[in-house]
Structure 1
C-alpha cells in the first residue's frame, strides 16, 4: 500500500487531537492528511503514520 492510498483507522482518528489546540481532526483523503480547522493546520500522513508535529504541519491558507 503506497502513501497516497493509505487510510487512517477511524478508531485512531477518534483518539488523535491537534497538538496545538487539542481539537478534533478530520481526514482529508485527497491530500492524505489530518486537518485541524481550528488551528488551520494540516498534518501529513506518511506510510500510514500521522506526523503530529506542528513543525511538519502545512498551514491552510484561505
Structure 2
C-alpha cells in the first residue's frame, strides 16, 4: 500500500507539532526541526515518538 501524500496537509510531528516531509526512498516522514524520522507501515504513518529514529539531512 502506498502513502497518500494528502495526509501531509493534516499530520504533524507529535513532538513539536511542526511540518513533516515525505521521504519516498525510505518510506518515512521527516521532521527537520527535531531531526526525527517516523516510519510508514503499509501506507500508515506511525507517529509515535518512541518509534521515531534520529534523522540527519544528507549533505549536498
Q: 2:19 is matched with which residue?
A: 24
Q: Distance in 2 between matches of 1:39 and 1:56?
A: 14
1:40 to 31, 35, 44: 35
Q: What's the Cα RMSD here? A: 1.3
Q: How many residues align?
A: 57
TM-score in terms of structure 2 length = 0.86
Structure 1: segments with no counterpart, 5+ residues: none
Structure 2: segments with no counterpart, 5+ residues: none
Moved over 3 A (4+): none
- Post-superposition CA distance 1:27-46 (Å, at most 9, x none): 00010000000010000000
Q: 1:15 is matched with which residue?
A: 10
Give the deviation of 1:10 after TM superposition: 2.2
Q: Distance in 1 between matches of 2:11 and 2:56?
A: 23
